[in-house]
Structure 1
Amino acid sequence: MQQLKMMEEKVILAVKDFANSINSGSKVVADMSALVDVTSQLSLSSFDYWERFIRTEFSSALRESTPPKWKLWSKPKELTTWLDLISWDGYKREKALRALSGGAPNTFFFSLAVRRLNDWVPQVREAAREKLPEIAKLTDPKCVVEALCITLSNWNSWGRIKEEDKQILLQIICEKDIAESLRRKLISSASGPMPSLFSQLGRTPILDENLEEIARLAIQPSVRAKAYRSLFEGRIVWMEGRKWEWTDIRYCEGRVRPIVGERKLDIKIPILDFLELSSTDRSSIVRRVSAEILIRELGKIEAVIAKELANKFASDKSHPVSERGKFAKRKLEEMASVNDS
Structure 2
Amino acid sequence: MMKPSEELEKQVKHAVRMFAISIATNRKVVSDMTPLVEVTSQLSLSNLDYWERLIRGEFAEVMRSSPHPRWKFWGNSPQILTWLDLISWDGYTRERTLRTISGPVPNSFFFALVLRRLNDWVPQVREAAREKILSLVNESDPASVVEALCLTLSHWNSWGRMEQSDKQAILDSISNPRIALSLQSKIVSSSSGPMVTLMSQAIRTSALDDSIHDIARRAVQPSVRAKAYRGLFEGRVVWLEGRKWEWTDKRYCEGKFVPVLGERQLTFRLPFMEVLHRSSEDRSSIVRRVAAEFLIKNLNSLGTDAAMFAERFANDKSGTVSERGRFAISQLGAGK
Q: What TM-score does the superposition give when structure 2 sets the normalisation length?
A: 0.94
Alpha-carbon offset, residue 64 of structure 1: 3.0
Alpha-carbon offset, residue 26 of structure 1: 5.0
Question: How big is each residue's C-alpha offset from its partner over 1:246-279, in whole Å with a ceiling of 9 and x where there is no partner?
Answer: 1112222221111110111244422223212211
Give the aligned partner of residue 134 of structure 2. Answer: 133
Kept in 1, the 8 Å contact 2:28–2:80? The answer is no
Question: How big is each residue's C-alpha offset from its partner over 1:73-112, in whole Å with a ceiling of 9 and x where there is no partner?
Answer: 3243321111111111111100111112332111101111
Kept in 1, the 8 Å contact 2:236–2:266? The answer is yes
SS in 2 for 1:23: helix
Alpha-carbon offset, residue 207 of structure 1: 1.7
Give the aligned partner of residue 82 of structure 2. Answer: 81
Alpha-carbon offset, residue 317 of structure 1: 2.3
Distance 2:85 2:34 in 1: 16
SS in 2 for 1:55: helix
Equivalent runs, 1:94-243 vs 2, <5 Å? 94-243=95-244
Distance 1:40 1:91 in 2: 27
Distance 2:181 2:46 in 1: 23
- Structure 2 unaligned blocks of 5 or more: none
The answer to whether the aligner puts 1:335 opposite 2:312 as a matched pair is: no
Distance 1:244 1:49 in 2: 30
Tell me which amino acid in the other structure corresponds to 1:107: S
SS in 2 for 1:9: helix
Cα 1:243–1:3, aligned 2, differ >3 Å: closer, same or farther? closer
Kept in 2, the 8 Å contact 1:97–1:131? The answer is yes
CA root-mean-square deviation: 1.6
Cα 1:132–1:268, aligned 2, differ >3 Å: closer, same or farther? closer
Distance 1:34 1:266 in 2: 45
- Structure 1 unaligned blocks of 5 or more: 337-341
Kept in 2, the 8 Å contact 1:20–1:66? The answer is no
Tell me which amino acid in the other structure corresponds to 1:202: I
Kept in 1, the 8 Å contact 2:206–2:267? The answer is no
The answer to whether the aligner puts 1:13 opposite 2:14 as a matched pair is: yes
Give the aligned partner of residue 313 of structure 1. Answer: 313
Tell me which amino acid in the other structure corresponds to 2:220: I
Give the aligned partner of residue 275 of structure 2. Answer: 274
Kept in 2, the 8 Å contact 1:236–1:263? The answer is yes
Distance 2:141 2:239 in 1: 28
Kept in 1, the 8 Å contact 2:27–2:79? The answer is no
Question: How big is each residue's C-alpha offset from its partner over 1:295-340, in whole Å with a ceiling of 9 and x where there is no partner?
Answer: 100010114x21221222222222222222222122112112xxxx
Give the aligned partner of residue 70 of structure 2. Answer: 72
Kept in 1, the 8 Å contact 2:134–2:173? The answer is yes
Distance 1:61 1:27 in 2: 17
Cα 1:79–1:266, aligned 2, differ >3 Å: closer, same or farther? closer
Distance 2:282 2:218 in 1: 11
Equivalent runs, 1:286-301 vs 2, <5 Å? 286-301=287-302
Percent of residue pairs bearing the same amino acid type? 57
Cα 1:52–1:290, aligned 2, differ >3 Å: closer, same or farther? same
